[in-house]
A and B are shown apart, each in its own frame.
Chain A
Amino acid sequence: GAGVSQSPRYKVAKRGQDVALRCDPISGHVSLFWYQQALGQGPEFLTYFQNEAQLDKSGLPSDRFFAERPEGSVSTLKIQRTQQEDSAVYLCASSNLVGEQYFGPGTRLTVT
């Protein structure tokens, strides 16, 4: 079946612009995670959803970052007033309630 998909794959934004990154998880997966991966580093946890409920947002670096999953399926990560330090690959992963996390290909965000 289809895996996790993310769009866009690449995004270039000027500093100060707002961006929205989309994640389509594997159908039926209850859990959805967002991670941020800076160049040359491992992914770092941002936030977690169980269905439509955002149960953990402890990794969001500032109040400019906002995530939602209104119908318990597709999720959007929004970054307001982007800064250069936001440049990274944003990874989405989904899983059953207890199980392996399946990762999407990521969205590479470059803020100029």
Chain B
Amino acid sequence: GNSVTQMEGPVTLSEEAFLTINCTYTATGYPSLFWYVQYPGEGLQLLLKATKADDKGSNKGFEATYRKETTSFHLEKGSVQVSDSAVYFCALSDDSTSYGKLTFGQGTILTVHP
């Protein structure tokens, strides 16, 4: 079956540091890939997505590239802010169905200090 593995957290960085959160996946077919973010006290929000190999998703300074050869979708940001502190989830959408149920990784807690 499908699975998503994220790097272990928590991750603690100083403001303006470079961020990488690793994500690898196992899936049959050609899933779409997502990063979701959960800010404290809030629901899950879609951060970015990529629907086919070599696509790059980007939003709010975050980027991730769909790498089929390495089955990866690593999240990066060049300069993090305190406001980026949140839990980040990598997910894939099952393309064997038309409705795209999601399989999530376990989440990575990011804390950014001033």
Contacts and interface: CB of A to CB of B under 8 A. Distances in A.
Contacts of B98: 97-98
Nearest to A41: B106
Contacts of A2: none
B91 interface: yes
Interface residues of A, number: 26
B73 interface: no
Interface residues of B, number: 21
B28 interface: no
A55 B99 CA distance: 10
Contacts of A104: 43
Nearest to B42: A105
A35 to B, nearest CB: 8
Contacts of A106: 43
A42 B91 contact: yes
A3 B99 CA distance: 20
A103 B43 contact: yes
Contacts of A98: 98, 100
A101 interface: yes
B44 interface: yes
Nearest to A31: B99
Interface string A14-56: 0000000000000000010101000011111100101000011
Contacts of A56: 97, 99, 101
Given A31-B99, A33-B102, 14 more contacts: A41-B107, A42-B4, A43-B104, A45-B101, A45-B102, A50-B99, A55-B99, A91-B44, A97-B98, A97-B99, A98-B100, A101-B102, A103-B43, A103-B44
The 5 closest A-B pairs by CB, nearest first: A42-B104, A103-B44, A105-B43, A103-B43, A45-B101
24 contacts: A31-B99, A33-B101, A40-B107, A41-B106, A41-B107, A42-B4, A42-B91, A42-B104, A42-B106, A42-B107, A43-B44, A43-B102, A43-B104, A45-B103, A48-B99, A50-B99, A56-B101, A98-B98, A100-B49, A101-B46, A101-B102, A103-B44, A103-B45, A105-B43
